[in-house]
Every structure is written in structure tokens, then in C-alpha cells.
Structure 1
Amino acid sequence: MAYDLEEQEKIDALKAWWERYGTASMVLVLAIVVAFAGWRGWQWYEAHQAEQAMGYYEALEAAAGQQGDDAVTRIKAASAALRTDYAGSGYTARGVLVAAWALQQRKDLDGARDQLQWLVGDKSSPAFQAVARLRLAGVLLAQKQYQPALDQLKGKAPDGFAALYADRRGDVLAAQGQKQQAREAWEEALKSLGTDPAAQIVQLKLDALGA
């Protein structure tokens, strides 16, 4: 096919451009395709992980509502799977709290402590970590491990937990027979609670201590 002069110039310009930039352009297009495929693959992986974690969480929650040794076994197995394989999932911290609560209700304090100690060490969930420290202090108090319980409550309490931490600290100190220190802790809790209905419970503790 014959081309006129203008068409031939365009073809020559295109060839020259391709010789200069063609390889780089192909590499760029390939990089974009690979990046897009990787992004879509990561999205699929994240969704799959979340779905799997949700399945373990639901199984744990169901087992927590049941009785018997078999239920305890399922609770621990589901929690172990979440902690081991899905530590970064939003379901894991909640599942560990559910497991700890369920085990504590069954008087398995060692099992509950194990769950909460893991969550206390999980730096990726600071809000759940604050709850775990409070509950772990309660478990340790039930086991009469007073100093380890106080260790969980020392320092500045996380935001929103000042009253709860002070109240629990008062519980531990009272159990140790340190009445004055317990009084100070409960008074601190009362000050933080203000008009919260929970203040009535703390006041009852103070009244009983005074009696």
C-alpha cells in the first residue's frame, strides 16, 4: 500500500517514538497490571482472612453459651486459632475477651488468665488492652495474687478507665487488709465517677470499710 508524504512522516515518527520509548512503555504497563493484580489479590486475601476469623469468633461465642468440658475445649481451640492465625483481625481481641469471660465463669481462672495475658501483650489493640488489664487484675485478685494484680493497675490509667482502675485497685488493697490505701483508691474512684450510678457501689464499699 502506498502512503502519501504526510502519512509516511507520521509512520516514521511513530516508529521513532516506539524505538525510543516502546520498551519503557511496555514495562510501565506491565508494572501497572502487576500492581493492580497484587492489589486485588491482597483485597481477596484480607476478605478471606476476615471471613475465616469471623467463623472462629462465632464458633467461640456459640461455645461460650454452652456447658460442659467439650464447650471449654472448643472455646480454647477457637481462641488459640484466632491468636495464632488471625492476630491482626478485629475479631481476635473481642474473641479473647469472650473466651476469658467464659472460662472465668466456669472457674477456670488459669485459662482466663492465659487469655488476658495474651491480650495485655497485644499492642495492636490498645482499647482492648486496657479492658484486658482490668479483667486480668480481677482474675489475679481471685487467685490471691495481689501484687501482680496491682501491677496491672499501676501508672496512669488509660483514658476512660480511671474510675474502674481505681475501684479495682481498692478491691485488691482491701483484700490485702490495707484499709487506708483501699479507702484512698475508692475515694479516687468516686471522684472520677461523679454522678455515675456505679458510684453507689463504690460508696457501699467505703461504708462497709468504715464499719
Structure 2
Amino acid sequence: MATHLDDEEDLEKLKTWWKDNWVGLVAGLVIGFGAIGGWEGYKHWRDGRAEAASQMFEELKKNLEASKTEDADKIVATLKADFSHTPYAAAAALTAAQREVQAAKYDEASANLAWVVEHSSDDGLVQVARLRHARVLLAQGKPDDAMKALGDEAGSFSSLAEELRGDIQLAKGDRKAARSAYEKALAAAESGATNKTLLQQKLDDLAEVNPS
């Protein structure tokens, strides 16, 4: 189509094109503006839910500090049920699991940690939950379940994951595999990591094991 539509032919072409396409063009504009409005509405709704979840998490901490465990449990349940896609739900489940481990309620802690792994979209929280879940299962005398919960990918927690893998292998009686895992954990540990001394001690305890 010519830039200025100076002649009759181009004008007729424009009229014909408009006649054939105006419905789709207008519909596209309506959909486009609707999408913009829908996105703004969604952001407003999402931000509102995040704010509500944040306030509930603050209430959870206050209830825990006041030893109001029943009220705290209700908040955790609500966050998990109604705000599962916010980081506050995962943080609440981790907090609940920590309290349950301290009370030796391992089954409840295991359920909360498994929930975080399944529902959280935050890779860091998922990895923390995996590690804690595996530790809980190991404490329950379930090394095979602990190894399964630990998984293969640990991201930035590779040193802690390999150390725990060594603990699990040792609990299963496989000292060679335990030593191999501890060596990987030590190699992956960052300079100044708090677990390096303990790792070296664990390796020293298995010094008589030939890794080959």
C-alpha cells in the first residue's frame, strides 16, 4: 500500500482491506487492551495476596513466641491451603517442621517438609526442605527413604548434601560409599565453611577404608 494513498486505486484497496479486516482489527485491539487490564488486575490481586500472606506469617511468629501452638498450627494450615504459591507458605511449613523436630514429632515434620518440596517455587527453599526431610527420615531409621528424599540435585547446597549422603551411607553400613561422599563434600565446601572441620573428622574416622 502506498504511503500517502494519492491515487484512486490505492484508496479503493484501502477501503476493501478495511471492509474485509475491520472486525479482526477491532477485536485485536479490544483483546489487547483487555489483556493489559487483565494483567494489571492480576498483579493487584497477586500483590494483595502476598501482603495478606506476609501479615499471616508475622502473626505466626508472634504466636510461636507466645507458645500459642494451636493458633500457630491454624495459620500454617491456612497458608498452605490458601496461599500455597507464596514464599510465606513454604517458610511457615519449614518453621512448623523445625518446631515438630524439636518435639520429636517426626512424622508431622516429614509431612511439612515434603509439602515444601512439592509446592514451593523457590529453589533455595526446596533444597533446604530436601536436606531437612532427609535428616528427619534418617533420624527415624529410614536410610533408604532418606536417600530418596535427598535426591541428586543440590545446587548451592552440594557440600551439605554430599555430607548427608555420606551419613546415610554410613547408616546403611557402606563405609566406602560414605567416605567417597565425604570427600566430595569436602571438595565442594567453600573456604571457611562451618562443616569442613567435621567433614575432615569423619574422613579421619574412615581413614582405613580404601576408596578404590
TM-score (norm 1): 0.74
Residue of structure 1 in register with 2:79 after alignment: 82
The letter for the 2-side match of 1:51 is E
**Structure 1 residue 142 and structure 2 residue 144: aligned?**
no
Coordinate RMSD, CA, aligned: 2.9
Q: 1:105 to 1:66 in 2, by over 3 A?
A: farther
Q: 1:173 to 1:62 in 2, by over 3 A?
A: farther
Give the number of aligned pairs: 186
Structure 1: runs of 5 or more not aligned: 1-19
Residue of structure 2 in register with 1:8 after alignment: none
How far apart are 1:191 and its partner, in Å? 1.2
Distance 1:133 1:29 in 2: 47
How far apart are 1:38 and its partner, in Å? 4.4
Distance 1:30 1:207 in 2: 71
Indicate the larger mover: 140-149 or 28-37: 28-37
Q: 1:50 to 1:190 in 2, by over 3 A?
A: same
- Over the matched positions of the two proteins, sequence identity in percent amounts to 30
How far apart are 1:26 and its partner, in Å? 9.9
Distance 2:169 2:183 in 1: 13
Is the partner of 1:128 in helix, strand or coil?
helix
Which is greater in Rg?
A: 1
Please give the residue correspondences for 1:1-80 in structure 2 after superposition, counting only pairs within 5 Å.
38-67=38-67, 70-71=68-69, 73-80=70-77
Please give the residue correspondences for 1:160-171 in structure 2 after superposition, counting only pairs within 5 Å.
160-171=156-167
Q: 1:106 to 1:32 in 2, by over 3 A?
A: same
Structure 2: runs of 5 or more not aligned: 1-18
Question: Does the 8 Å CA contact 1:64/1:102 hold for their aligned counterparts?
Answer: no
Q: 1:32 to 1:182 in 2, by over 3 A?
A: closer
Is the partner of 2:192 in helix, strand or coil?
coil
TM-score (norm 2): 0.74
1:120 to 102, 110, 117: 117
2:171 to 163, 171, 175: 175
